[in-house]
């Protein structure tokens, strides 16, 4: 219950900060541009698609590329959003007061995580309005749309948990953002190693965030991919809680 109280407070704080509004505005503007670009592409291809049996529809040509590109935007934006959630508390010496209060480390971390993730879910909710607007002139594959929404929600949770962890390690928000982005980028491109090897490592392929994200994007809801994101998020939340407990025990 305490975690939700902290999350509510942090969520309001994020919305009062200019950075959150800037991130939301930039991401929405870029998403709208990419959406309109894909719609224009679909309009140009309509005559060609009419001659093809089982031709791809609006969902494949517009929605899937849009959500894939937004995943990359989240990779860039989430470290900026999470960089100060704990690092700023350490920098301004307010974390000591927070740790001395009768609040568990788990409640603190979960509260910070839920606030940042909640902000990203607001963004994803606004994003979903774009493909839904296509219903006025076409049809959508709601199964694929739902899987893409779930994929972005799980991906943003993983990104947020990583950002919160690195924010807990440093008193410098910029250092936390760079470290978080570096790890996320590495895990994003791990699957690319298979293009340069005759025998790609199954371990590296499994650890690739991009691989699991793209599997969900196809519309095939796999428990392997969902569990991967849940375990990944849980691992970094656990590491963050453990680090706060370590700071709490220090004299």
Query: Domain coordinates of the chain in residue numbers?
Result: 2-249
Distances (CA, A) of 21 to 36, 76, 122: 22, 15, 12
pLDDT on residue 101: 78
Alpha helices in 190-222 (DSSP H): 202-207, 209-217
What is the pTM assigned to this prediction?
A: 0.91
pLDDT on residue 171: 83
**pLDDT digit string (tens) for the chain, length 251 residues:** 688 888 888 888 888 888 888 988 999 999 999 999 988 888 887 777 666 766 667 788 888 889 999 999 999 999 999 988 888 878 877 777 777 778 888 888 999 999 999 999 999 999 998 888 888 877 888 888 899 999 999 999 999 999 999 998 888 889 999 999 999 998 888 877 666 666 666 777 778 888 889 889 888 888 899 999 999 999 999 999 998 888 887 76
pLDDT on residue 200: 62
pLDDT on residue 89: 79
Residue 35 has which token pair? 């959406």
Cβ–Cβ < 8 Å for 154, 144: no
Q: How far apart are CA 6 and CA 76, in angstroms?
A: 26
pLDDT on residue 233: 95
pLDDT on residue 197: 62
pLDDT on residue 153: 95
pLDDT on residue 219: 83
Q: How far apart are CA 170 and CA 90, in angstroms?
A: 8
Alpha helices in the chain (DSSP H): 2-16, 18-49, 58, 64-82, 87-91, 95-100, 105-132, 142-169, 173-189, 202-207, 209-217, 223-249
CB neighbours (10 Å) of residue 240?
28
Rounded to 10 deg, the angle between the 105-132 and 64-82 helix axes is 150
pLDDT on residue 55: 63
């Amino acid at each position: 219950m305490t975690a939700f109280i902290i999350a509510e407070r942090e969520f309001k704080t994020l919305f009062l900060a200019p950075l959150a509004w800037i991130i939301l505005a930039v991401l929405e503007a870029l998403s709208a541009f990419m959406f309109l670009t894909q719609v224009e592409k679909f309009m140009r291809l309509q005559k060609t698609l009419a001659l093809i049996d089982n031709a791809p529809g609006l969902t494949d040509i517009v929605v899937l590329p849009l959500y894939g590109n937004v995943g990359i935007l989240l990779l860039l934006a989430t470290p900026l959003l999470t960089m100060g959630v704990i690092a700023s508390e350490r920098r301004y010496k307010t974390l000591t007061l927070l740790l001395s209060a009768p609040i568990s480390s788990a409640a603190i971390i979960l509260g910070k995580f839920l606030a940042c993730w909640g902000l990203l879910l607001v963004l994803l909710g606004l994003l979903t309005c774009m493909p839904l607007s296509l219903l006025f002139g076409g049809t959508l594959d709601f199964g694929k749309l739902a899987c893409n929404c779930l994929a972005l929600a799980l991906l943003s949770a993983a990104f947020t948990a990583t950002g919160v962890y690195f924010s807990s390690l440093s008193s410098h928000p910029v250092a936390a953002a760079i470290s978080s982005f570096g790890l996320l980028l590495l895990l994003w491109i791990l699957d690319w190693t298979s293009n340069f090897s005759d025998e790609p490592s199954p371990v590296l392929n499994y650890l690739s965030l991009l691989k699991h994200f793209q599997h969900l994007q196809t519309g095939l809801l796999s428990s392997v991919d969902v569990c991967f994101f849940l375990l990944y998020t849980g691992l970094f939340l656990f590491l963050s809680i453990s680090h706060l407990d370590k700071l709490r025990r220090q004299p």
